[in-house]
Structure 1
Amino acid sequence: MNRVKKILGAAGRAILSFLKYKKHLYFPPLFFLILAGVVIGAAVFIYSKFIEEEYTPVEMEFEKDSYDFTGQTIVLDPGHGGKDPGATSVSDINEAQIVYNIADKLRNRLEESGAEVILTREEGQFVSLDDRKKEGDLFISLHSDAMDDPSITGFTTYYAYPNQKEFAASLNASLDEYSFFHNRGNREYGYQVIWQLDYPAALIELGYLSNRFDDHTITEAAYQDRMTEAILRGIDNYLN
């Protein structure tokens, strides 16, 4: 035990001697380490403050219109679901849940407007692409994408055939009026859920969950209400 005490005592004296007489060896790197810590801390604070201010919820008040869709059968296809969560958002809310929330809001508003509504899946349910083929008058597939590049933002509407183009364009125009995102256009692409249909159908990419602004906005219930209204307006403009 005495030997251990002697060793510890000698080590302590050596450390104190080093700290006292060798300041020129450890002061410069210590100074730069402290300075680096201060700079990093300041950068984190400024970045956090910037993000907080940039993504403060945007005022989303808008006037809800009433519609009459009596006699229309409208198929709503919330993308993914169940074992297929789709894209994961920055805030950890997956695509399947986001688009289901919007589809459910749409279903309620459409039924209030007299339409018959068919959902291709319910919450948490997985349905194959083949089984999403349903007969109706109009078909809308809802998605929210993600990319490796987090700077990519915006919404896009897609159609597969010429007889679907006008409907997709009407949805695109109304989304352009209501959305806070960049309009990436109305494009032709053969996604299976619309390719396998022979009546007016469109697939909507509502935003990019890999983009902080898109993600922060599209996960807000108020913005989902706004997208619901945009789609209702697009349907109404197309039918009338």
Structure 2
Amino acid sequence: MDSIKAIFRKTLDAAGHFLKYKKHLYIKPLFFIIIAVIIVLISVYVYKNVIHEPEEFITMDFSDNKEEKINYDFSGTTIALDPGHGGEDPGAPSEYGENEDDVVFSIASQLESRLTEAGAEVIMTRKKDETVSLDGRKVDADLFISLHSDAFDDPAISGFTTFYTYPNQEAFGQHLNAALDEHSLLYNRGNQVMEYQVVWQLDYPGVLIELGYLSNEFDDYILNQKDYQDEMVTAIMEGIHSYLNR
């Protein structure tokens, strides 16, 4: 037992001597180790509390963006709403909530109610979770809006876009794009020409709106929030109103 104590004492003395007289050997390495540990701890915190728990840092407050009390009157206007995908085609997958077909159907259903209250005749290209061909989405109306929330290989891609095909559709896209820009939390990717079938098969003003990218965590999260969906409905209502009263 005495020999063990002696060895332990010698070890402590040696350690003390090293720490006291050999600082030049360990101070710099110790400094860099401490900095590395701090960086790792910060990275872990950000990863856990920011990237994978967006609800803790995203506060959706639309109090400054509330819709003005506009007495919309869309009487005599027939508006077709096309919730993209559905049935056998769920569209883009979601990590935080519903897939694309359910997200856009939720927004379209709310928009249908608001438009009907404003006196518009509304045609829904699908009224439930059902498969509808692109040909079957061609309907006769005055205005046509196809709603989507896309996915992309690069998860960093974010933002909303309005698409049209023909010159007689451009102005409608511009008005919707401007209204969405006022209400969306996402980057505005503009009003672009694109030959999507649901739009090019029409001979009247029609637009396809990509509300965001479900492959992006932020877009995915907010598009699955009811308050944000309500805000998108408000934006589209304002865009239609602006276009019809231009």
In which range does the TM-score fall when normalised by the shorter chain?
0.7 to 0.9
Q: For residues 231 and 39 of structure 1, what CA distance do their matches in structure 2 show? A: 44
* Residue 120 (structure 2) aligns with: 115
Once the two structures are superposed, residues 118-167 of structure 1 have per-residue CA deviations (whole angstroms, 9 ceiling, x without a partner) of 00001211100000000000000000011111111000000010000010
| SS of alignment partner, residue 177 of structure 2 | helix
What one-letter code is carried by the residue in structure 1 that aligns with 2:211? L
Alignment of 1:19-30 (within 5 A): none
Identity, % of aligned pairs? 56
Q: Which moved more, 1:41-50 or 1:141-150?
A: 41-50
* Residue 110 (structure 2) aligns with: 105
1:63 lines up with 2:67 in the alignment: yes
Maintained 8 Å contact 1:81/1:96 = yes
Moved over 4 A (4+): 36-43
1:175 lines up with 2:174 in the alignment: no
* Residue 78 (structure 1) aligns with: 83
Count of residue correspondences: 205
Maintained 8 Å contact 2:97/2:224 = no
1:165 lines up with 2:170 in the alignment: yes
* Residue 5 (structure 1) aligns with: none
* Residue 50 (structure 1) aligns with: 50
Shift of 1:68: 0.5
| SS of alignment partner, residue 163 of structure 1 | helix
Maintained 8 Å contact 1:57/1:217 = no
Shift of 1:92: 4.7
The normalised TM-score by structure 2 is 0.78
Q: For residues 59 and 127 of structure 1, what CA distance do their matches in structure 2 show? A: 36
| SS of alignment partner, residue 118 of structure 1 | strand
What one-letter code is carried by the residue in structure 2 that aligns with 1:49? N
Instruction: Select which of 121, 126, 133 maps to 2:131.
Output: 126
The normalised TM-score by structure 1 is 0.80
Instruction: Select which of 183, 189, 210 maps to 1:184.
Output: 189
Q: Which runs of 5+ in 2 are unaligned?
A: 1-35
Q: Which runs of 5+ in 1 are unaligned?
A: 1-35
Shift of 1:206: 0.3
Shift of 1:89: 1.7
| SS of alignment partner, residue 135 of structure 1 | coil
* Residue 26 (structure 1) aligns with: none
Shift of 1:60: 2.4
| SS of alignment partner, residue 126 of structure 2 | coil
Maintained 8 Å contact 1:55/1:213 = no
* Residue 227 (structure 2) aligns with: 222
Shift of 1:42: 6.8
Maintained 8 Å contact 1:133/1:196 = yes
* Residue 15 (structure 1) aligns with: none
Q: For residues 212 and 42 of structure 1, what CA distance do their matches in structure 2 show? A: 20
